[in-house]
């Protein structure tokens, strides 16, 4: 521009030189790449895995400025009032390089794209993110909001409801784990439109016609890439998972979800009790029991009669030498160090199957057969595991499946499946920003 200004101010300017300067200037502009600013707003560190591989893809792009700003959230009492505030910023590893919500305002950062993973804003009965970060306060005409679910659904559990929260109404895009789940999101949103006139107007005003996009979920990337070396054990876990000769015990991971507790009540608690019985008799095995962290408060509110039985099971698990009650904020240590998984639907069985280690779908209403008669085809079961399929207890019996899993025993949980979901979501976000900001 300086050269151009000098040329046109010449008393006798050369039009060819001016035309050449303008041409060079436009060629330079066309070569310049746009830089996009992306802000990630996680609130619970245990849910960071649903954004992590998107952030990693953003960091690798020299034309992107990526920021992670963990936001606070509140507990709620029974009347819905905010009580204790939580800030999990200290939980993130140093290489994430977080920025503080106390020192930064979103509009000052001025992101082109914001990723969120909380679907409820203030509509959750138990918790609420800080009201400053409700989705309706984030939306702008010059900004793209993308909601990535913090959970995945077991692929064959078509009877499970697909929840749609407040965030999905306001977000420009919602990431679905599959085409089937994308369609379920669309059906739920259509039903909302039909049921409430005011809600219909709200949804319509934020529906760009391409709200739901099937791109997988970064949680799969995390599960595929799990390695024991990335999750060193503390001394308490080492005592349980290794024998006196420092040999690692065959280890099962047991999951119990809130939904199965509320649906099956005493039946699932009896099942857990039977499983603990089995491991109490087999000291050469180890058990990691990781129930959903909100089971106990949910039971106190909805099924208080189950609390004594549940608490007794927890205490029993904690007191056994070969059992771990895992109430940490990161499920990946348990996933990495276990050799097989047991559960009933839920996110963990869906994620565990992609580790290519045995995943067992428990049968809740039948008495468990822990005996192995050896009458199973090892090649068939190995094929199911390598194809990331879940093994049904009802088809083989739990004793046979445990016997197979002990023989199978994959040495490490690292999979040969590439971590691509986060990269796909990142690339989609950039294209979505180009379209909206254009």
Q: What's the helix, strand, coil split of the chain in %, to 5?
A: 45, 15, 40
> How far apart are alpha carbons 226 and 332 in whole angstroms?
7
* 374 vs 396: CA distance, rounded Å: 10
Token pair listed for 417: 């499946």
Question: If residue 35 lies in a helix (H) or strand (E), which one and from where to where?
Answer: none
Render each residue's pLDDT in the chain as its tens digit; 438 residues: 788 788 888 877 788 888 888 888 877 776 666 789 999 999 999 999 999 999 999 999 999 999 999 999 999 988 999 999 999 999 999 999 999 999 999 999 999 999 999 999 999 888 999 999 999 999 999 999 999 999 998 875 566 667 788 899 999 999 999 999 999 888 888 888 888 777 777 887 888 789 999 999 999 999 999 999 999 999 999 999 999 999 999 999 999 999 899 999 999 999 999 999 999 999 999 999 999 988 998 898 899 999 999 999 999 999 999 999 999 988 999 999 999 999 998 899 999 999 999 999 999 988 899 999 999 999 999 999 999 999 999 999 999 999 999 999 876 544 455 558 999 999 999 999 999 988
Q: Are 325 and 293 within 8 A, CB to CB?
A: no
- Structural contact between residues 163 and 191, judged by C-beta atoms closer than 8 angstroms: no
32's tokens = 């310049």
Q: Measure Cα distances from 26 to 19, 21, 134 in Å.
A: 11, 9, 42
Among candidate residues 267, 226, 233, the one with its CA nearest the CA of residue 248: 233
The pair of structure tokens assigned to 336 is 């990495």
Residue 102 tokens read as: 């106390």
CB-CB neighbours of 405 under 10 Å: 23
DSSP element (H, E) containing 405: helix 398-408
41-69 in b/e burial notation, b at 16+ Cβ within 10 A?
A: bbbbbbbbbbbbbbbbbbbebeebbbbbb
The SS3 assignment for 342 reads strand
CA 309 to chain centre: 30
Residues 6+ apart with CB under 8 A from 300: 307
Q: What pTM was computed for the model?
A: 0.86
Name residue, tokens 């054990």.
Answer: 233
Q: What is the pLDDT of residue 414?
A: 46
> Which residue do the tokens 């009492």 mark?
77
| Beta sheet of 36-41, edge-to-edge order | 64-68, 36-41, 113-116, 144-147, 173-176, 212-214
Distances in whole angstroms, Cα of residue 72 to Cα of each of 100, 129, 162, 358: 10, 6, 26, 37
Cα atoms in the Cβ-side hemisphere of radius 13 Å centred on 287: 29
- Tokens standing for residue 122: 């203030």
CB 212 within 8 A of CB 218: no
pLDDT of residue 329: 84
Interacting residues of 93 by C-beta distance below 8 A, sequence separation 6+ = none
């Amino acid at each position: 521009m300086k050269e151009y200004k000098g040329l046109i101010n010449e008393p006798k300017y050369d039009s060819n030189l001016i035309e050449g300067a303008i041409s060079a200037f436009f060629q330079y502009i066309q070569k310049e790449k746009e830089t996009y600013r992306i802000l990630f707003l996680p609130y619970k560190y245990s849910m960071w895995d649903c954004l992590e591989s998107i952030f990693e893809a953003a960091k690798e792009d020299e034309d992107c400025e990526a920021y992670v700003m963990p936001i606070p959230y509140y507990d709620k009492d029974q009347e819905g009032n905010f009580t204790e505030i939580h800030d999990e910023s200290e939980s993130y590893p140093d290489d994430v390089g977080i920025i503080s919500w106390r020192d930064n305002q979103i509009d000052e950062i001025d992101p082109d794209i914001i990723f969120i993973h909380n679907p409820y804003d203030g509509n959750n009965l138990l918790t609420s993110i800080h009201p400053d970060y409700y989705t309706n306060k984030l939306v702008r005409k010059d900004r793209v909001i993308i909601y990535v679910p913090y959970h995945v659904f077991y692929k064959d559990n078509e009877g499970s409801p697909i929840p749609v929260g407040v965030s999905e109404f306001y977000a420009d895009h919602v990431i679905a784990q599959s085409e089937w789940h994308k369609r379920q999101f669309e059906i739920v949103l259509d039903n909302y439109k039909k049921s409430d006139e005011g809600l219909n107007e709200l949804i319509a005003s934020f529906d760009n016609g391409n709200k739901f996009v099937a791109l997988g979920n970064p949680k799969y990337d995390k599960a595929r890439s799990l390695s024991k070396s990335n999750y060193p054990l503390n001394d308490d876990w080492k005592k349980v998972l290794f024998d006196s000769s420092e040999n690692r015990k065959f280890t099962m991971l047991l999951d119990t979800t809130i939904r199965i507790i509320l649906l099956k009540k005493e039946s699932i608690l009896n099942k857990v009790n039977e499983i603990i019985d089995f491991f109490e008799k087999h000291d050469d095995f180890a058990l990691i029991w990781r129930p959903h962290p909100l089971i106990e408060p949910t039971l106190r509110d909805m099924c208080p009669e189950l609390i004594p039985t549940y608490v007794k099971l927890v205490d029993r698990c904690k007191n056994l030498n070969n059992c771990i009650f895992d109430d940490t904020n990161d499920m990946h240590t348990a996933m990495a160090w276990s050799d097989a998984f047991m559960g009933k639907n839920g996110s963990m069985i869906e994620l565990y199957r992609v580790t290519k280690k045995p995943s067992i779908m428990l049968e809740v209403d039948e008495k468990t057969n822990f005996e192995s008669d050896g009458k199973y085809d090892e090649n068939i079961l190995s094929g199911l595991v390598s194809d990331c399929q879940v093994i049904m207890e009802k088809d083989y019996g739990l004793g046979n499946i445990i016997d197979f899993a002990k023989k199978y025993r994959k040495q490490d949980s690292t999979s040969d499946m590439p971590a691509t979901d986060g990269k796909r979501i990142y690339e989609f976000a950039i294209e979505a920003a180009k379209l909206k900001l254009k």
